[in-house]
Copies of this chain bind each other. A is one copy, B any other.
Amino acid sequence: MQINKEEIRSGNENLREAHKAGFDFLANTLSGQGVDVNAIVQRLADFQVAIPSWALGAGGTRFGRFSYYGEPSSLEQKIQDVGVLHALTQTAGAISLHIPWDVPEDYKAIKEVAALNDIVFDAVNSNTFQDQKDAVHSYKYGSLSNVDKAVRDQAIAHNIEVVEIGKKLGSKSLTVWLADGSNFPGQSNFQTALRHTEDSLKQIYGVLPEDWKMFIEYKPYEPYFYSTVIQDWGTSFMLANACGEKAFTLVDLGHHLPNTNIEQIVSTLMMKGKLGGFHFNDSKYGDDDSTVGSVKPYALFLIFNELVYGMKNNPQNPYPAWMIDASHNVKDPLEDLIQSLEAIQEAYAKALLVDQDRLKAAQLENDVVQCQEILQNAYRTDVRPLLQRARLERDGALNPIQAYRSMGIRQKLVDERGRHSVASGL
């Protein structure tokens, strides 16, 4: 399965005129406000988000899973799925692998498939929250934080193996989501668990190649329901500092307690040079892993406002690794991801429209009303023509969902793979 660029181009034809009119009108308006429209289009085009290999099949809950049709059942197929997304949106030029679900059998072949699809390998992810079939030790009571050194060693070795696999693929970073925690008061000694975790992370950090980064994720709860070892950004930040310069905090939007001001966390981390990675999704209740921008698009915009600010003003912070981390329980996973990519680009475009100079001036005068006007003026702008232009210039689809449907992609995948193929992963 690979998308024919010509088909995208011809699909764009009947939308092109309307797009041109909308873009011209918007560009004219924005230019009149002093906005460099071309620069924004360029930044949108440059913005690439990794797709995690496990998000290409249907997700589920503890109460069950309703499968989808034509799921990719091999790493090659997963890369092809990302290729489809990238061809249509021009903003999904990377895949993030999960080990052991995605161990390549033939590295050379896999890299060729990726290159053919214009896809690079982003951060590699370890898995110590499930027991593998051949595992000697169980992670039921934790992995990097386990009271038993043998278990910790197994988990450390697994992470090191993941780095090795990543090296062969051209990845440059390792993401550690440590699910470890406890379900009941008393089950775990917090200090012991934290100390073990720090030790384990340092051992993994020790084998990291010079040009790699380690991302340390945090999460307040789930899959454990009383405590999580790395429960918040403060803990992750502390651990990253303990490990060293190549260790960073990773922010996943769904990994926060109710009402958390996430944008402030983002801002603090960038100021400290420690925001390494970012996982996009949306949620109403917990770590719902809903489509990006489907529940709280303004919050997403506010977060991007801090990201844009930090990328400009915080040279101490590396360019973050972007990834979608969502679950697709009732939608076609590829359509869901297209909607997520669109929402990310929309929030980014609106954040780029914020007039930072006027905002700063208003802040210095405590003109709160004006500050809000400036943010809302950017947010209320219909930026879809800018997103379209960025795609159009690179032969992406003006309307990716519509293109995906009119090209019958899902049906083609089902034809190729069979109706009841099952994606490895969750």
Contacts and interface: CB of A to CB of B under 8 A. Distances in A.
Interface string A164-191: 0000000000000001001111111111
Interface in A365-385: 366, 368-369, 371-376, 379-382, 384
Contacts of A73: none
Contact of A288 (B140, B194, B225, B309): B225
A233 to B, nearest CB: 6
A290 B129 contact: no
Nearest to A336: B369
Contact of A62 (B61, B195, B270): B61
A199 interface: no
B283 A225 contact: yes
Query: Copy number of this protein in the oligomer?
Result: 4
A129 to B, nearest CB: 5
A226 interface: yes
A403 interface: no
A214 B381 CA distance: 40
A276 to B, nearest CB: 16
A159 interface: no
A259 B220 contact: yes
Contacts of A161: none
A297 interface: yes
A77 to B, nearest CB: 21
Interface in A283-298: 283-286, 288, 290-291, 293-298
Given A141-B330, A147-B363, A284-B226, A231 B264 contact: yes
A284 B225 contact: yes
Contacts of A288: 225
> Most chain-B Cβ atoms within 10 A of its Cβ — which of A183, A339, A362?
A183
> Most chain-B Cβ atoms within 10 A of its Cβ — which of A129, A141, A339, A368?
A368
Interface residues of A, number: 108
A296 B63 CA distance: 25
A188 B299 CA distance: 16
A376 to B, nearest CB: 8
A91 interface: no
A206 interface: no
A151 to B, nearest CB: 10
Nearest to A269: B234
Nearest to A25: B25
A99 interface: no
A31 to B, nearest CB: 13
A38 interface: no
Interface of A: 22, 25, 29, 59-64, 66, 129-131, 138-141, 147, 179, 182-192, 194-195, 220-223, 225-227, 231-235, 237-238, 257-261, 263-264, 267-268, 270-272, 283-286, 288, 290-291, 293-299, 302, 305-306, 309, 313-314, 327, 329-332, 335-336, 339, 346, 359-360, 362-364, 366, 368-369, 371-376, 379-382, 384, 401, 426
19 contacts: A59-B62, A62-B223, A66-B139, A183-B331, A184-B294, A184-B368, A185-B263, A185-B372, A186-B375, A187-B368, A190-B264, A191-B271, A220-B261, A222-B285, A232-B232, A234-B235, A234-B238, A291-B372, A373-B401
Nearest 4 CB-CB pairs, A to B? A234-B234, A186-B371, A190-B267, A225-B288
